[in-house]
Structure 1
Amino acid sequence: MSEATQDDETPSAGTSRGQYSLKSGDTFVVCDAYGDIRGDASGLFHNDTRMLSHFTLDLGGKPPSLLSAAISHDNVLFTANLSNKPLPPMGERATPQGVIHLQRMRFLWDARLYERIACVNYGDSEVQVTLALRFGADFRDIFEVRGTSRKKRGTLHEPKVGETSVALRYDGLDGVTRCSVICLSTLPDRLDGDSAELRLVLPRLSNTELYVEIGPDHAQPSRERFRAAAAKARRAMRRRRGHGARPRSNARLFNAWLERSRADIALLVSEFPTGPYPCAGIPWFATPFGRDGIITAMQLLWLDASLARGVLGYLAEHQAHETSAFRDSAPGKIMHETRKSEMAELGEVPFGRYYGGVDTTPLYVMLAGAYAERTGDEVFIDKLWPALTAAMGWIERTCDKDPHGFLTYAQGEKGGLLNQGWKDSEDSVFHADGTIPPAPIALVEVQGYVYAALIAMARLAERRGDDDASAQWRHRALAMRKAVEELFWDEEMGNYGIARDGNDTLCRVRASNAGHLLYVGLPKLWRARKVIRQFRSAPFDSGWGVRTLAMQQARYNPMSYHDGSVWPHDVAICAAGMAHYGERDDAVRLLGETFEAAVHFGMRLPELFCGFPRATGEPPIAYPVACLPQAWAAGSVFMMLQACLGVTVDGRRGEVRIDRPSLPAGVDRLTLHKLDVGGDSIDLGFERIGSRTVAFRAGGSADVRILAKV
């Protein structure tokens, strides 16, 4: 992914009004703490088009004062509590400040925004006040909102004003008519194409309610419709949150982080015919991304395999079958990104269905292999087999073009991504002197993914009885491992270079990319330990997690997108890699650092934050335009927790393996409730006893074997 925007539950530095978001299906809304939409990155969006770009509320011609704003724990309801500023007289006397309580409650359901505006007068006499709503829709494409200019747009029609509604309409160049209809439950005193006014008479302690709905067609808002739709939205969210095992500890704050992370993933999940799929993040990436969906599914796989199944099915359905330089597609490639917007439909941007991610295809095969081990679901793997062999076909054909057998990339047509690994900003790959290398580029972590994909396919083929194919894939995996060890390791750095360029020159840069090699288990033990020692050191470890780039490297900038910032999902992968090589204490330390960062971010980790060194008494410094919530940031706690507990679930054998578990600091007891193991369910308990952590069966099926190593 590339640049995003700030989205938080409380006002943050540089954003005095805060940013809040809700999502339901293909619809999401971003507003400030007052509930207002004021352009910029805020708005009501549907299918990557901004359906409402302005929506504000005034009392007596003045914006109200903010008392509080919050999103419910289940991520369904946004609530702003407001109060009046001193109001000019409309009767015998002026209304003093702070006597009218105004509450805005909002949610999304079935491509509609529902809002209840409730006013209560706590003054000592009747109050008369004018409530005004101001609104507008620019119907801009998400890429326009992000800053892309267009030579031509469609037709924006004059608003159509009814008694209690205003219809806003835009005819796109793609032949699609897009409508936003603002509907009120009460006949306003004045209504025109961009505002509505209601003159309210509020007796003391009276409660006056106005219901508003904004959707693609006309409706008649009411209390009954509001309550019925809210109940449906909450039931749907409960279903999404109810999947998978649930970790629960004796530590209240740690539990709050776990629950917020589960709720954020549930918020971002969309349901498709192929199953659940986690959209990447709000606001810029509220759509399926291949890489993000795969990594989020990997993070949750040990707890909830249904997400991985949904991701695998969706991406198989959207696999490339033709070659296109514009879309960077080739037969067998797995999708990087899909969009439904006007510009994508017209081909003004290549992201309608875009394949410019070099790592997505091997990651897809990795996930399929991990899913098969976790569940033993051979029937589903058989269904996926044509997609998996096609994916491996693309990987092998591309690797065969490189003299060393590496998987490389180069930008397709202009407008596509220059860099196509997870660090996809234009300056994220460079030489030790800071110069940008020529393409094609072979990223070090991508070769690790290819190695893991080859091992996964070898195991899958062996279980299918195809020993010849299994042997061939194992041979290629060993060759890849040997080539990476010979051509990416730099003895002087004591680390792996970030990439090899089109001149076959190593980019001698110390970056977190090597942590992904640890995750797949490619490095030799002694080299892995050298990398881990560097990750422990101050140039890498900010005190809030591992930086994407070590200090003192060329282009290091703790405020950059990829060159010195901290990404929670990247930290989680590094922690899991350290644990893979037996360094469980490092995983515990990184989980502790990330947890302390989460506390400062209101238990909701952003996509990334700045990589400045931790200072006593100071919080981590926010990256100003990070996605929040963001799927793989929310999933990072679960990957790190698995790394700490050393849990592996083998659904085929019906067993759980636990390797030298360790609980996070401050957590003395933890239980995994309803962990599915090959169709049986168990509860696993972990408890700190002295300096050791012991694991035990806390309930559930006795048929599941638990193999624990202390």
Structure 2
Amino acid sequence: MNYPGTPTAAGADEAAPPETDYRIDVTESLVERTLRSLKHNDLFAVFDQQGNCRGGASGPDGLFYKDTRFLSHLMLRLCDSEPMQLGSVVLDDNGAMVVDLSNADLHSPSGAIWLHRESVHLQRFKFLSGNAAYERIRVRAFDPVGRTMSLSLEFHCDFADLFEVRGASRMHHGKRSIAVTSDREVVYRYVGLDDVAREAVMRFDPPPSEISEHNVRWELDLDETPEQTVLWQVSCRIAGEEDEDRAPAAAYRAMRRGRAALNTERVQASSDNSLFNAIIKRAWSDLDMLVTQTPHGEYPYAGVPWYSTIFGRDGIITALQTLWCAPSLARGVLKTLAALQATAIDAKADAQPGKILHETRGGEMAALGEVPFGRYYGSVDSTPLFVLLAGRYFERTGDIETIRQIWPNIVAAIGWMDDYGDEDGDGFIEYSRMTEQGLSNQGWKDSFDSIFHADGRLAEGPIALCEVQAYAFAARKEAAPLAALLGETAMAQKLADDAEALRQAFEDKFWLEDLGTYALALDGKKQPCRVLSSNAGHCLFAGIAAPDRARRVADHLLGQRLFSGWGVRTIASGEARYNPMSYHNGSIWPHDNGLIALGLARYGCKQEIAAIFGGIFDSATYNELRRLPELFCGFARRKRSGPTSYPVACSPQAWAAATIFALISASIGCEFDLEARELRLIDPVLPGFLDELTLRNIVIGNSSVDIRLTRAGDDVTTTSLRRSGASRLTISK
């Protein structure tokens, strides 16, 4: 992502992030407001607890379609008074938002109460489908009212680009217009500087008693008809697109059918812990909401509100974390990123042939080049991660047809790693941006101040990150058997040789014997950034670390400086730029912990996994929706207190939601051998909060198995509950 952290030890000239880092301006913490999010494909909405949105400069509220905010303000009133909130929930599957409201005490001009509070109940039911938001408002009187009551909606559409909502300023805009086109329709229209016409079409049923450009009003006689229903919708239209407009009931069914289709190829997990079951259910629901149908398959958009689009790195890591339990997601990620792979040099987009996408945006500012993210390739790790995912996807599924289809893209990605990624020929992949508009740091920690030396100096490029070399090693290891399988024998041998050469060079240049860990990075002068960081844990995930050194890294990761009690911090306490409130320099990211746990499993560090699993689980229990956010602050854990929230964290976030599945896999040591049709559990353990874990529909080729793990003290026994086909279950230490 690209929100800079807060530096703590830099000079005055480094105190503010450069404008090109596209930071999210923060004037108000989202923690202060409990917001509700809905999403369906390219449409997402952010509402307050009452189902309203205030938009403007006050926050991310609104209805967004393809990086443009179509609805920026919405307010419901009863008799010109805001109703009182009774309850507000998003359904467990994230399919709809339900708000229960009641009237406040209503006064006549003389001051006398003419209707006591809690006499009228209002229920708002909101959902998204296709390119439209729908709402049903049901009003019911439980006491005589004695007069008609007005129900009104106030609304506005600002057509702000998402980057404007994030804080970017623009001097010029296109032309806006508003028209009341019938007794039940209002149309907002905007023709941007990109010459694209966008419309927000509002329809109301029944026709309101009054209608104007920013307001509608119904007069309700609740004594005559105690229960009445109002329907309204706003459709987001972009010129040249096919209109997906549907009646509310049909739209709701279509949305539900799409979500149900996602559930057929995944492992179902349940346990004896009801809180853990709620966290699992929310994680799947969040992934279902974020998964978007693209022309090339399903893709998990990164997160709401700031990153509801295709991010290469995020999608790959989400797929890697869920590969054991939902492998079909990886297929969509691979095919989508293959289709969007760079084929030419484009300095404005940091693009080079074979490079895998960082992110893509569909808004006006991206189309005009005011931000470089129309299709932007400024991430150094997406390309080796793409190759790594392809290899592991084949190991998990045996889907050779998908591998054949994307093999030219895999070859092109390896070509980028060998050539453009390693321009100085030292064997390491480095980055430096090709345009001043691009991101200054291009690993997953892409804040402007996230890569630094022990004294706090920012590293100067080209920069070689430790985890990127680890990914490149694993990518070549994974691609070698694919090449052999496809008859590319010479290429297979070269990939294996290059992987081993990189491993040796990595151990020689990155290992810091006195610190007992791997350097965060090498700067442009090949000097190591001697900083204790979570990045070294990704080296375990990729398998590049020597076993004895992996053990020392693990000790650091679970040591007091890096492990807060809730999870592993991005940067250890005591480092020059450590700040537990920063984005990347001391905060805790669930996905970071998930990959670290998978790495610890590779080296047999099971008790360390249990500690991370316990901290991450406990942190989710403090969230109202039992949800893991994008990140939270890295303060040390305190008794009888939850983790400290980060002010503008995305929630939900795909790779955060996927973390819980990575932690399960790491704990039970889940491995697959398709040739033997075998599920292997390597030294399975369960964390202290789980005594029993049941996993159903674990697919192994054409077979499947259900298993149950039961903990008694430190011992775990495994039982096969069901087998379909010739699948086998083996357990080993």
Q: How far off its partner does 1:160 sit? A: 3.2
The 1:559–1:669 alpha-carbon spacing in structure 2 relative to 1, beyond 3 Å, is: same
The 1:96–1:324 alpha-carbon spacing in structure 2 relative to 1, beyond 3 Å, is: same
| Correspondence for 2:698 | 675
In structure 2, the gaps of 5 or more residues are: 6-27, 239-245
Q: How far off its partner does 1:204 sit? A: 8.4
| Correspondence for 2:16 | none
Aligned residues of 2:71 and 2:155 also touching (Cα < 8 A): yes
- Match of residue 155, structure 1, among 150, 164, 175: 175
Matches of 1:701 and 1:90 in 2, distance apart? 74
Q: How far off its partner does 1:400 sit? A: 4.2
Matches of 1:686 and 1:230 in 2, distance apart? 38
| Correspondence for 1:146 | 166
Matches of 1:307 and 1:399 in 2, distance apart? 27
| Correspondence for 1:489 | 511
Cα deviation, 1:437-486, whole Å, max 9, x if unaligned, reads: 11100001000000001111112122223332111111111111111111
| Correspondence for 1:76 | 95
- Match of residue 199, structure 1, among 212, 216, 219: 219
Cα deviation, 1:238-271, whole Å, max 9, x if unaligned, reads: 2223431111222211111111101100100011
- Amino acid paired to 2:657: A
Whether 1:328 aligns to 2:347 is no
Cα deviation, 1:51-72, whole Å, max 9, x if unaligned, reads: 1101111122221111111000
When normalised by structure 2's length, the TM-score is 0.92
Report 1:234-313 matches (<5 A): 234-313=256-335
| Range with bigger deviation, 348-357 or 559-568 | 348-357
When normalised by structure 1's length, the TM-score is 0.95
Matches of 1:48 and 1:203 in 2, distance apart? 45
- Match of residue 536, structure 1, among 551, 558, 573: 558
Aligned residues of 1:160 and 1:167 also touching (Cα < 8 A): yes
Cα deviation, 1:323-365, whole Å, max 9, x if unaligned, reads: 0110000000011101111111222211111100000000000
Q: How far off its partner does 1:94 sit? A: 1.3
Report 1:491-530 matches (<5 A): 491-530=513-552
The 1:127–1:633 alpha-carbon spacing in structure 2 relative to 1, beyond 3 Å, is: farther
Whether 1:66 aligns to 2:85 is yes
- Match of residue 719, structure 2, among 669, 684, 696: 696
Q: How far off its partner does 1:381 sit? A: 0.9
| Correspondence for 1:686 | 709
Q: How far off its partner does 1:303 sit? A: 0.8
| Range with bigger deviation, 197-206 or 439-448 | 197-206
Cα deviation, 1:293-344, whole Å, max 9, x if unaligned, reads: 0000001110111100110000001100010110000000011101111111
| Correspondence for 1:3 | 3
Q: Secondary structure at the match of 1:663?
A: coil
- Match of residue 634, structure 1, among 642, 651, 657: 657
The 1:37–1:186 alpha-carbon spacing in structure 2 relative to 1, beyond 3 Å, is: same
Aligned residues of 1:90 and 1:129 also touching (Cα < 8 A): no
The 1:429–1:13 alpha-carbon spacing in structure 2 relative to 1, beyond 3 Å, is: closer
| Correspondence for 1:614 | 637
The 1:403–1:318 alpha-carbon spacing in structure 2 relative to 1, beyond 3 Å, is: closer
Whether 1:28 aligns to 2:44 is yes
Matches of 1:422 and 1:93 in 2, distance apart? 58
| Correspondence for 1:9 | none
Matches of 1:607 and 1:690 in 2, distance apart? 33
- Amino acid paired to 2:721: A
Q: Secondary structure at the match of 1:506?
A: coil
Matches of 2:317 and 2:31 in 1, distance apart? 30
Report 1:439-588 matches (<5 A): 439-588=461-610
Q: Secondary structure at the match of 1:158?
A: strand
The 1:189–1:564 alpha-carbon spacing in structure 2 relative to 1, beyond 3 Å, is: same
Q: How far off its partner does 1:581 sit? A: 0.8
Matches of 1:90 and 1:163 in 2, distance apart? 31
Matches of 1:357 and 1:72 in 2, distance apart? 35
- Amino acid paired to 1:659: I
In structure 1, the gaps of 5 or more residues are: 6-11, 219-223
Whether 1:315 aligns to 2:322 is no
- Amino acid paired to 2:226: S
- Amino acid paired to 2:104: K
Aligned residues of 1:441 and 1:502 also touching (Cα < 8 A): yes
Aligned residues of 2:4 and 2:449 also touching (Cα < 8 A): no
Aligned residues of 1:327 and 1:353 also touching (Cα < 8 A): yes
Aligned residues of 2:422 and 2:430 also touching (Cα < 8 A): no
Matches of 1:691 and 1:113 in 2, distance apart? 50
| Correspondence for 2:230 | 210
| Correspondence for 1:650 | 673
- Amino acid paired to 1:153: H
Q: Secondary structure at the match of 2:70?
A: strand
Q: How far off its partner does 1:126 sit? A: 3.7
Aligned residues of 2:454 and 2:576 also touching (Cα < 8 A): yes
| Range with bigger deviation, 300-309 or 90-99 | 90-99
Matches of 1:372 and 1:441 in 2, distance apart? 31
Matches of 2:504 and 2:237 in 1, distance apart? 61
Aligned residues of 2:388 and 2:474 also touching (Cα < 8 A): yes
Matches of 1:300 and 1:217 in 2, distance apart? 34
Matches of 1:344 and 1:232 in 2, distance apart? 31
Q: How far off its partner does 1:4 sit? A: 10
Aligned residues of 2:702 and 2:725 also touching (Cα < 8 A): no
- Amino acid paired to 1:209: T
Size of the aligned set, in residue pairs, is 699
Report 1:423-434 matches (<5 A): 423-434=445-456
Aligned residues of 2:198 and 2:237 also touching (Cα < 8 A): no
| Range with bigger deviation, 242-251 or 135-144 | 242-251
- Amino acid paired to 1:540: L
Q: How far off its partner does 1:548 sit? A: 0.3
- Amino acid paired to 1:669: E
| Correspondence for 2:192 | 172
- Match of residue 227, structure 1, among 240, 249, 256: 249
Aligned residues of 1:3 and 1:626 also touching (Cα < 8 A): no
Aligned residues of 1:264 and 1:634 also touching (Cα < 8 A): yes
- Amino acid paired to 1:334: I
- Amino acid paired to 1:641: I
Aligned residues of 2:144 and 2:223 also touching (Cα < 8 A): no
Q: Secondary structure at the match of 2:349?
A: coil
| Correspondence for 1:98 | 118
The 1:101–1:226 alpha-carbon spacing in structure 2 relative to 1, beyond 3 Å, is: same
